[in-house]
Each structure stands twice: as C-alpha cells, then as structure tokens.
Amino acid sequence: MKAELEATPKTLDSLDLTRPHLHAHYDLSAVWRLLREQRPVHWHPPGDGKPGFWVVTRHEDINAAYRNPTTFGSSGGNVLDVMLEGGDSASGRMVSVSDGQYHSEVRSLLMKAFTPQALTRTAARVEHAVRRLVADAIEREQCDFAKEIAAAIPLQAICDLLGVSEQDRRFILEQTSNTVGSESPTATSADAWKAKNEILFYFAELADRRRAEPAADVITMLVDARIRGRLLTDDEIIFNCYSLVLGGDETTRLAIVGGACALADHPDEWNRFRSGRTDLDQAVEEVLRWATPSMHQARLAREDVEWHGARIAEGDIVTLWNVSGNRDERVFDRPDEFRLARTPNRHLTFAAGTHFCLGAHLARLEVAAVLRALRDMVRRIEPTGEPQPVFSNFLGGYSSLPVRLHPNRK
C-alpha cells in the first residue's frame, strides 16, 4: 500500500516528479489536489543538469493543451525523460511525435488497422484467450494476475496485428517492460535505451522479412504504404512499429491490472458489477480513469503564452498530468472514489485532440473482455500478497498482483 505524501506549499517547492521511486512508493493524490487548487500551472525547477519544466494539473487545461498542437507541439517528444535528454530521436518520423500534415497522413494510414470493423477477428481472439487464462488461474487457485493474465492479453492482440511470431512475444514483453519503466527499482536509463534498441532492431529485421514475404499485418501495410507518392523510410516503419507495440502493450496491461486491483479492494463495487447492476461499458471507462496508466504526456511550447499567471516561453517543456486531471473535482463527482457506474466519465486516459490514442477501441475491448470474464467466472478476487509497483515517472500501476480467483458456484 502506498503512503500518502503530505501536501504543503513547501512540499511543492521540493517535489521531484522525475523520480520513479516517488511515483512507485507514494500516493500523490494530495499533491495533485493542492497543485490544482493553488498552482494549476506549476514550474518544476531544473535538477541533475536537466532543464526545468511546467506541470499542468487541471482537467480543463490538460484537455485544452491536447487540443492545441499549434501552441503545444508533440514533434519534440511526448515523454518527460526523453524531453529532458534533449528530445525524441524519432521526431517527425513516428506518428506519436509528429504534428501537422505528416502526422495526419500517417495516422490515417495506421487507423485502418484499428477500426472496430478491422478488429472484429482480434476481438474474438482476445475474448477466447481471456477466458482460457482466467479458467487456468482459477484451477491453479493462486496466480499473479499481472504476469499470468494481464501480460498476455494486449501483447497477443498487438503482436497479432504487427505479425510478431508466437516464439518472439515473450522477448517483446520483456523489452517493452523496460523502455519507459521497470519492475526493478535499480533500473537505469541505460537499461531503458538497451531495451528500446532491442525492439527497434527486431522490427528492422521483421520489416526486411516482410518485403520478401508479405503478410496480412500492419508491418506489411507500412512497408507497402506511400505518403505523398513516396514509400516510408526504414526509420519511419521501425519507429512506428515501436510506438504501436509500446502503446498497445504496456498501457493496456497496466489498466487491466489496475482494474483487477480496484475490484479486489472494492467488494461492494465488485458485487454490484457481478450482479448485473452496473453497465459493462461504464465499468470499462471507470477502470481506465482509475488506473490512468500513462500518468503524463509531454509537449513543447511553440510560442510564448501566459497561463494562470505563469509565463511559458517558446521552447519550454510542458507536462500534462492525466493522473491529476482524471481526479479533478471540477469535472468528476467524488473523484477519489472507484465507482463503476460513473457517468459522465470524461477521462483523459487516451489524451484528446489530434493525438487521441490510436488504439483506444482495442484497449476498450481488451478491458471489457477481462471484466466480462471475471464477472461470468469469478465469485471473489482475493489478494494474497502485496502488489508490486512499476518504477517509472511515465507509467503508473503494478507489475505484480498476487491473487486467488474464487470460482462462481455452480
């Protein structure tokens, strides 16, 4: 259980949001609340030779920034650690870190693989896989929900779409788990770069194979695609595969784990859901809001702007903290309560605007499949050990969740 960090103006002045241990070990709810109340646009000072950055915490402001790529651009990078190191090397060649016409064209191309119609077969495979995994976990009586159930579901779906072979999927999971976070408190930035490079090399080799042997997958689509009459470069293909596998695996996995943990901790909500008194679609949205696996997104100010009395200069790093916006009392009634029937639920888990998550429909159908299987097959989710946190300032959630799944009585 995380300890709640005391929130005072002095705390805000000394807070280092770049530290993975801070997010792993402390509940920052009171800190986000105080920032929303008193410093909605807060200057985080430089440290360890890295530049300072702005911290935006109110839902309305985060949403506005997402919808204004002219002022707050993504082409320099979208993750704080990368921005602090000088920017993303994939800038302008990967859809998540590009803006303008190029972003629109590549996004439109990729969206073809993520429409509800295109994902019909994937949805059926996910549903079957989830029920098999839950049934196996029930039979074993003890399981690590994070490692034995949640880890397999989004990984299977995104690897199916990208054409990653069954024997390579464990390798992909190991690497994605270390790129922007880690299960280990001693992981270093060098470990993250090694993991990222392993993924890039893997997709470079897979792209070469697809040129010789095309298949019905996204990487073949990228190899064959033309943007304004030209083929995509190797870098563009590889970087976009990296973006898809990272976004399609890590964040959804953490949302699923966060949902299971919340259901175990809130038996009244679980019983209402299990009895059919709570709508499945509403439950999915509350799990996504509650878990908020991508704690922040980063942007680069493209012009000088004054905001809540703060003077943001062109070139400044601006961080948009979804984890705070999703608990904003100005938008959500009793935001610190887990309420599966919550409506409306205008969460920011998928961001907003032109960079709204490409895989939002896929993530929703995966979370829904898990909730449906648990509702149909499980009577009680019993924690059997302490959940272990992810060590990251970008990803939030648990890398391990020991539980026992008690079967429904026949």
Q: pLDDT tens for residues 380-406? A: 999 999 999 999 999 999 999 999 999
Is the per-residue pLDDT at 290 higher than 60? Answer: yes
Tokens of 70: 């002219």
More confident residue, 6 or 64: 64
Q: CA angle at residue 255 from 149 to 262, to 5 degrees?
A: 85
Q: What's the CA gap between 408 and 410, in Å, rounded?
A: 6
- Number of C-beta neighbours around residue 15 at 10 A: 19
Q: What is the pLDDT of residue 185?
A: 65
- Which of 78, 83, 74, 76 has the alpha carbon at shortest distance from 104? 74
Task: Please state the rounded mean pLDDT for residues 268-287.
Answer: 96
- Number of C-beta neighbours around residue 193 at 10 A: 13
Burial 393-409 (b: 16+ CB within 10 A, else e): bbbbbbbbbbbbbeeee
Strand partners, 31: none
Q: pLDDT tens for residues 172-188? A: 888 877 775 556 566 56
Q: pLDDT tens for residues 331-375? A: 999 999 999 999 999 999 999 999 999 999 999 999 999 999 999
The mean-pLDDT minimum among 61-70, 153-162, 259-268, 308-317 falls in 153-162
Q: How large is the C-alpha radius of gyration of the chain?
A: 21
pTM of the full predicted structure? 0.94
Share of the chain above pLDDT 70, in %: 97
More confident residue, 246 or 105: 105
Q: What is the pLDDT of residue 190?
A: 76
Domain map (residue ranges) of the chain? 3-407
Is the per-residue pLDDT at 5 higher than 60? Answer: yes
Q: What is the pLDDT of residue 410?
A: 55
Say whether 119 sits in a helix, a strand or coil: coil
More confident residue, 246 or 38: 38
Tokens of 90: 């994939």
Share of the chain above pLDDT 90, in %: 84
Task: Please state the rounded mean pLDDT for residues 237-246.
Answer: 91
Residues 6+ apart with CB under 8 A from 322: 62, 292, 294, 295, 296, 297, 348, 349, 351
How far CA 63 is from CA of 85, 87, 92, 222, 294, in Å, comes to: 26, 23, 23, 31, 15
* Domain 3-407, CATH: 1.10.630.10
